[in-house]
Structure 1
Amino acid sequence: MKIYHHLSDFKKLDHAIVTIGTFDGVHFGHQKIIRQLVERARQDQGESVILTFFPHPRMIIDPENQDLKMINTIDEKAKMLESLGVDHLIITPFTRDFSNQNPEDYIKNTLVDNIGTKHIIIGYDHRFGKDRSGNLSDLRAAGKTYGFSVEEIMEQDIHDVAVSSTKIRQALLEGNVSLAADYLGYPFSVFGRVIKGDKIGRTIGFPTANLFVEETYKLIPSDGIYAVTVEMESALPVEDAKIQTYKGMAYIGQRPTINGMTRNIEVNIFDFNQEIYGQDIKMNFLKFLRHDVKFTGLEALTIQLQKDKEATLAYFDSI
């Protein structure tokens, strides 16, 4: 899959099959639409194109609202779309100027002149252009002028997509990573770099890798303890490196037992004793175990962590 970070980087195609959307989560509903796109491109001997936006339009239109968090980072989304067989991904910088185009200019400049659209797969309620005044009827009319066809995604499919994205975010904010995985079709994950912590975990027999997530817009699940798997590259030369997967338990929270002041993401990786500072890892959230609690001291915390480890191992034994 080829990735473009601006429309001007994209070379107009002879036969582009296009869909447009934010596709946050690339969940079951999105996957259905994208497979439809890829199959249509194959049938027409064309090339599949997804036009998406970054930052998310709501971040630009309503900048005072800092509550919106994304299920995927833009890199995570790109990897998912590539795995579904998409040929081209255009990540358009979403700006006020872009949103203020009138619908006719948007269709001509973006879909026709820049992309070379011959067929577009779009939702019945898709809106575009200034004040979101453009709609499906405008696309159909423009298609007759510019020579592209329009395929409508059924209302029920759009409803499923919209509801699922909202439900996924809500489930994660409640710590219900199992339900989120049901909607996504895969475990929710967080990707980040291992940084140095204060090493308190080592003193009580539960050393942890502290994870730094660079993308501040990435949604992080509710505070608590989770059963997770951790993926990282083996310590081999780059050409020989393989992804290794380990079991573990993760903690998200402010560490109230030691009066912590910042929200941490930490993981105790089972049967693992390597130094991995500076390494990038991926953490897959499989099951919520318990909420974050303030204990009377490190001894009480250690006793609970041992119980958490036993619960995590029992979970892995059950699957």
Structure 2
Amino acid sequence: MKIIRGLQNLTQYQGSVVTIGNFDGVHLGHQNILAQLIKKSKQLNLPAVLISFSPTPQRFFGHEKATLSSFKEKQHLLSELGLDAHLIVHFNQTFSQLTALDFVQKILLDKLNMQHCLIGDDFHFGKDRQGDFALLQTLSKTKGFTLANTPSICHNNTRISSSEIRSLLAQGNLQSAATMLGRAFSITGTVAHGLKNGRTIGFPTINIPIKRKISPVHGIFAVTVELDGTSYQGVCSIGNRPIIGGKKTLLEVFLFDFNREVYGLKVKTTFQHKIREEEDFDDFATLKKQIKIDVSHAKKYFI
């Protein structure tokens, strides 16, 4: 999959099939859209292109949300599905003023030579969100492209969406979130040096900085960790570490029966079961007692 960072790096296409969206988490609904897009691209023998915006319009306008996938995680998931290109448009003040008509003409038609567009019937685009499915329907009659809408995919009569999955993760409902994602929720990152407080109380942890502004999960969890092709069980804390006055979100994992230095290695932490919320403790002795209880709960879960 080709990643195109910015309109300035977009060369003119001879033709394409296009969908637009953030695709955070690349959940089952997204996977269904991309399967339809790729099927159409093969029928027309044209590349399948996803257009996303960075930052997202919501973030640009001050409505920051937790993200289900980091940039690298999302690109990996998209490439596995067979997408040909991912165009990432830089969303800034100038771009936010682009009218819906200009967006269609200058980007979708002039640059991408779009022959087919697959989009949700509730999708809005352009200045003041004036563009919608109805506008594209009208334009398709004179601009020479075909149009299809994306049907909602539901689980237990609930539409699968990134916002619904964020809500489920925040509630600790990992099973339903995994069903909507099509996989268990996980975070991939590189092991970094920490403060090493865990060693002093008998629970050394591997520390993984979170490459996202807001994490969709907080608390104490039973987890599995993939490292060098081997899966380990453990218990993790993801939060701000209030006992040391932490402000940055950090993922700390204590692995059972593990004694290796793994700094700099890439690990994938998969969240299996929520044990409790993050708490503040008066001292490390009290924290140590609680960690023993957490480890016991996690081990019972894995039995």
C-alpha separation in 1, matches of 2:84 and 2:102:
25
Is this contact kept in 2: 1:249–1:269, CA < 8 A? yes
Matched, 1:10 2:2: no
**Which residue is 1:289 aligned to?**
275
The 5 Å alignment of 1:65-144 reads: 65=63, 67-144=64-141
Matched, 1:186 2:186: no
One-letter code of the match for 2:189? G
Q: 1:95 to 1:274 in 2, by over 3 A?
A: same
Alignment equivalent of 2:224, drawn from 221, 229, 235:
229
Q: Secondary structure at the match of 1:3?
A: strand
Displacement of 1:297? 4.8
Matched, 1:39 2:39: yes
Q: CA RMSD in A?
A: 2.5
Is this contact kept in 2: 1:48–1:87, CA < 8 A? yes
C-alpha separation in 2, matches of 1:161 and 1:148:
32
Displacement of 1:36? 0.9
Displacement of 1:294? 4.4
Is this contact kept in 1: 2:238–2:250, CA < 8 A? yes
Displacement of 1:35? 0.9
C-alpha separation in 2, matches of 1:87 and 1:261:
42
C-alpha separation in 2, matches of 1:123 and 1:255:
41
One-letter code of the match for 1:228? V
Alignment equivalent of 1:170, drawn from 167, 171, 182:
167
**Which residue is 2:22 aligned to?**
22
Is this contact kept in 2: 1:8–1:114, CA < 8 A? no
Matched, 1:219 2:205: no
Is this contact kept in 1: 2:153–2:160, CA < 8 A? no
Q: 1:255 to 1:106 in 2, by over 3 A?
A: closer
Q: Taking structure 2 as the reference length, what is the TM-score of the superposition?
A: 0.89
> What is the identity percentage for the equivalent residue pairs of Structure 1 and Structure 2?
37
C-alpha separation in 2, matches of 1:305 and 1:124:
49
Q: Secondary structure at the match of 1:313?
A: helix
- In structure 1, runs of 5+ residues without a counterpart are 235-242
One-letter code of the match for 1:183? M
C-alpha separation in 2, matches of 1:121 and 1:220:
28
Displacement of 1:52? 1.0
Matched, 1:251 2:237: yes
**Which residue is 1:207 aligned to?**
204
1:211-259 deviations in Å (ceiling 9; x for gaps): 212332x42412x210112223x3xxxxxxxx33322110123445x45
Higher mean C-alpha deviation, range 4-13 or range 113-122: 4-13
Q: Taking structure 1 as the reference length, what is the TM-score of the superposition?
A: 0.85
C-alpha separation in 2, matches of 1:57 and 1:129:
11
Q: Secondary structure at the match of 1:245?
A: strand
Aligned residues: 301
C-alpha separation in 2, matches of 1:76 and 1:144:
38
C-alpha separation in 2, matches of 1:164 and 1:137:
22
Displacement of 1:116? 1.6
**Which residue is 2:48 aligned to?**
48
Is this contact kept in 1: 2:28–2:153, CA < 8 A? no
Q: Secondary structure at the match of 1:115?
A: coil
The 5 Å alignment of 1:240-279 reads: 243-256=229-242, 258-262=243-247, 263-279=249-265
